[in-house]
Amino acid sequence: MKVLFVNSLRTIGGGERWLLEVSEALADRGHETAFAVREGGQLGRMMKSDGRRVLELPMRGDGDVQSIVALARWARELESDVVSVNVQRAVRIGAPAARAAGIRAVVERRGLLFPLKPSAYNRFVYRRLVSRVIANCEAIAADLVGTGLLPRERITVIPNGIDVGRVQSGGGRGFRLLSDIGPDVPVVAVVGRLVPDKGHSVAIRAFAELLKKLPGARLVIAGSGHLEEKLRKLAGELLPDGAVLFTGYRSDVSEVLDAADVVLVTSYREGMPHVVLEAMAAGRPVVASAVAGIPEMLEDGVEGLLVPAGSHTAAAAAVERVLYDRRFAGSLAKAASARVRREFGLRAMVDSVERCFEEEVASSGGGLRTPAAGAGEGDR
């Protein structure tokens, strides 16, 4: 099977990590993989350094005909069997390009719960171009059905999975040493792209509340994004000097997790965040917003603590509870570690994705077809 992945984000987030892990596993199973990405982004640079087959495109917007035409041409040259699209711009460029190339197996991987308008264009995309949607949690599947754009039978829920063996332990001591954080200093870690959806401002305000009870604690924010300057300014206004450390993007967050006493996720919008799975695998207690698929990953009070999105006071209280009650924190971490190994393994996820792709190829007739007359600009 020949799979073409299309992704339009310039930064590396959970969706991009899904793409990297799934594509690597599929390649190990003998499938051919190729990638169309937005030029100038981290994903393209990473893939080129790994020697992967990559096409960089401008992807300037939904109506970027140049990118659509170039991608369609490349898909035909590759003789792709299935096109996997991720994130809205990738959908609106990759799906028309696949149609123009005569590829009927077009699978969107949807990993974030956000409103999708039932516009005329979206109705066309989801009724005529996208053959199936992979949602990483039931909450996203239900939301998508609610739009009326496609029926539930064309949505496959495949929870995210990770290779727990890659979540290394033992690097926390070195991270603390290099970061000038003492071994007994409470550390709250926030990991994710610095974008509005992740709610970093809530985490900073929550930490400011926490410092009233634990003045010696440290906040570690790992990730990069366009909000960094704004968040640094907010932290400078609310927190004392030296209370927060911005690490920037890290390709391996294991050391940060290993150094943390609690992992805080204050997102407004999510799907099934990778960092929650990594924290579970690392044996670190999690305090997280009760949004999208997070309640499907963690039972409140059993495997983690869930708080209302946007409430910095609730987040601060939950983190305080975990830091003060170490026995309770240990029980959360132990239960979460067992669950991630039981339910969210990488192999099971890849098995499901592979089966989904193969079924779409089979149901579409097995490979490229000659584009129908009129398919292309006028049909869109």
DSSP collapsed to 3 states, 103-119: CCCEEEEECECCCCCCC
Domains of the chain, start order: 2-161+345-363 (3.40.50.2000), 164-343 (3.40.50.2000)
Query: CA triplet 147, 111, 81: central angle to 5 degrees?
Result: 95
Averaged pLDDT in 10-residue chunks for the chain of 380 residues: 94 87 96 96 86 93 90 97 93 95 97 89 93 97 95 97 87 94 97 95 98 97 95 98 95 91 97 95 97 97 98 98 98 97 96 98 74 39
End-to-end CA distance of the chain: 28
- pLDDT value of residue 61: 80
User: Can you read off the two tokens belonging to residue 34?
Assistant: 């190729």
Q: How far apart are CA 33 and CA 54, in angstroms?
A: 9
Query: Which phi and psi (to 5°) does residue 116 adopt?
Result: -120, 115
- pLDDT value of residue 366: 64
Query: CA triplet 253, 256, 9: central angle to 5 degrees?
Result: 35
- pLDDT value of residue 126: 94
- pLDDT value of residue 88: 84
* CA 162 from centre of chain: 12
The DSSP line for 289-302 is E--TTHHHH--BTT
Q: How far apart are CA 260 and CA 239, in angstroms?
A: 19
Model's pTM, two decimal places? 0.90
**Burial class (CB within 10 angstroms; exposed 0-12, middle 13-18, buried 19+) of 371:** middle
HSE of 278, CA atoms in CB hemisphere, 13 A? 25
